[in-house]
């Protein structure tokens, strides 16, 4: 790599901020940081699950974002993908482009990163460091028992559709940060101070790993909501060749969203993005098993709809009317 700045070498930077003693609860790592490759050892017969997500300044987070939160979020969005597959984390790598080697920034970033990594016994096993516009790219490695992956293509007609947690708060927080008039007018200029959980949902999403693992082998299809509930459920529908009815009155509504007009509220709930909740489907005869999975993983889960044979996504209103939903999520090239 290139030296970040004269006197601060890459190896020194890595050693001080990223190299840590072997994690006692991570038996899947035979060799971590420091060699040409890390060596991972999944349990015999298990499948390796791999996912990469990149966070780019100005695209996925605002310039000047708090580094502790960035450390958390960069890993959280990746762990969320393991959760959506039903996998257990083994470890992760971190490719980092930094405009400068800022010690305070790095220490805070590492703090947020490792707090979440430790909570899930998911050690940092390697990476790459270079100078460049701020860019955080993490690859997570996980394992799954054979045949237990929660694939997007596995939804079946008459499956129930479930959502963990609730959607919409991250989108509203972003709108308030950007001072979008519809949000500020409805919620007031102090909304972020009055409802701290709004911004927490944007900055520090909770990857639903325990729920995902409890659902492996039980649920059919699953996906994590990064681009909006409608868009991500739409991916399941497309991959599975099915449609869905969403019961709008079953969608949990955060207190922070209540001042919004009905139309904006619905937009946050369905097309918000950055929620990192799980949407999954399961056969109706597994309702009790799903409830147990929610309970053992201490994760709120709501039944929000039903998979249909006929294609398309329909929203059912409390008054019995329905309308067709465009799955317009966030598209980076749209």
Residues in contact with Mg ion by the rule CB under 5 A:
128
- Asked if 126 interacts with ligand ADP (CB under 6 A), we say yes
129 binds, among ligand ADP, Mg ion, none (CB under 5 to 8 A by kind): ligand ADP
Choose which of 9, 42, 127, 217 interacts with ligand ADP (CB under 6 A): 127
Of all residues in the shown chain, the one whose CB is closest to Mg ion is 128
List 306's β-bridge partners, or say none: 160, 245
34 binds, among ligand ADP, Mg ion, none (CB under 5 to 8 A by kind): ligand ADP
Within 13 Å, how many C-alpha atoms sit on residue 308's CB side? 13
Q: How far apart are CA 235 and CA 286, in angstroms?
A: 23
Closer of 130 and 289 to Mg ion (Cβ): 130
Closer of 128 and 193 to ligand ADP (Cβ): 128
Q: Are 205 and 77 in contact (CB under 8 A)?
A: yes
- Asked if 18 interacts with ligand ADP (CB under 6 A), we say yes
Closer of 1 and 250 to Mg ion (Cβ): 1
33 binds, among Mg ion, ligand ADP, none (CB under 5 to 8 A by kind): ligand ADP
Backbone torsions φ then ψ of 234, nearest 5 degrees: -55, -35
DSSP per position, 250-315: GS---GGGTTS-HHHHHHHHHH------EEEEE-GGGHHHHHHHHHHTT--EEEEEEEESS-EEEE
134 binds, among ligand ADP, Mg ion, none (CB under 5 to 8 A by kind): none
Backbone torsions φ then ψ of 57, nearest 5 degrees: -60, 135
- Asked if 192 interacts with ligand ADP (CB under 6 A), we say no
- Asked if 35 interacts with ligand ADP (CB under 6 A), we say yes
Q: Least separation, in Å, of the C-beta of 32 and Mg ion?
A: 15
Q: Are 126 and 86 in contact (CB under 8 A)?
A: no
Closer of 32 and 86 to ligand ADP (Cβ): 32
Q: Least separation, in Å, of the C-beta of 158 and ligand ADP?
A: 46
Q: Are 6 and 16 in contact (CB under 8 A)?
A: no
- Asked if 1 interacts with ligand ADP (CB under 6 A), we say yes
Q: Least separation, in Å, of the C-beta of 231 and ligand ADP?
A: 31
- Asked if 326 interacts with ligand ADP (CB under 6 A), we say no
SS3 of 53-98: EEEEECCCECCCCCHHHHHHHHHHHHHHHHHHHCCEEEEEEEEEEE
Q: Tell me, by CB under 6 A, how many residues bind ligand ADP.
A: 15
**Other beta carbons within 10 Å of 202:** 23
In angstroms, how far is CA 215 from the centroid of its own chain? 16
226 binds, among Mg ion, ligand ADP, none (CB under 5 to 8 A by kind): none
Choose which of 26, 29, 33, 77 interacts with ligand ADP (CB under 6 A): 33
Query: Which among 54-62, 124-132, 240-248, 312-320 is the span making contact with ligand ADP, rule CB under 6 A?
Result: 124-132
**Other beta carbons within 10 Å of 22:** 11
Binding site for ligand ADP (CB under 6 A): 1, 10, 14, 18, 33-36, 94, 96, 124, 126-129
């Amino acid at each position: 790599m290139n030296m970040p700045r004269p006197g601060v070498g890459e190896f020194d930077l890595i050693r001080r901020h990223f190299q840590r003693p072997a994690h006692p609860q991570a038996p899947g790592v035979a060799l971590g940081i420091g060699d040409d490759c890390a060596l991972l050892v999944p349990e015999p017969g298990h499948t390796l699950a791999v996912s990469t997500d990149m966070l780019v300044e100005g695209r996925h987070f605002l310039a000047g974002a708090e580094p502790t939160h960035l450390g958390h979020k960069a890993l959280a969005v990746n762990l969320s993908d393991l959760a959506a597959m039903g996998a257990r984390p083994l470890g992760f790598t971190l490719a980092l482009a930094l405009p400068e080697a800022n010690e305070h920034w790095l220490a805070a970033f590492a703090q947020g990163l490792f707090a979440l990594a430790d909570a899930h016994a998911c050690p940092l096993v390697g990476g790459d460091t270079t100078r460049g516009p701020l860019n955080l790219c993490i690859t997570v490695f996980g394992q799954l028992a054979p045949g237990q992956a929660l694939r997007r293509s596995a939804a079946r007609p008459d499956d129930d559709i479930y959502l963990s947690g609730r959607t919409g708060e991250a989108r509203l927080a972003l709108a308030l940060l950007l001072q979008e008039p519809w949000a500020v007018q409805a919620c007031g200029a102090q909304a972020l101070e009055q409802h701290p959980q709004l911004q927490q949902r944007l900055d520090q999403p909770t990857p639903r790993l325990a729920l995902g693992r409890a659902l492996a082998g039980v649920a059919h299809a699953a996906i994590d909501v990064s681009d909006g509930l409608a868009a991500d459920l739409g991916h399941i529908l497309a991959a599975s060749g099915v449609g869905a009815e969403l019961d709008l009155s079953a969608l949990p509504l955060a207190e922070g969203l209540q001042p919004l007009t009905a139309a904006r509220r619905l937009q946050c709930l369905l097309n918000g993005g950055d929620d990192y909740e799980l949407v999954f489907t399961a056969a109706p005869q597994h309702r009790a098993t799903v409830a147990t999975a929610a309970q053992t993983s201490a994760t709120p889960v709501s039944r929000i709809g039903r998979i249909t044979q006929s294609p398309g996504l329909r929203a059912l209103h409390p008054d019995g009317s329905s309308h067709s939903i465009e799955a317009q999520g966030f598209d980076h090239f749209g």
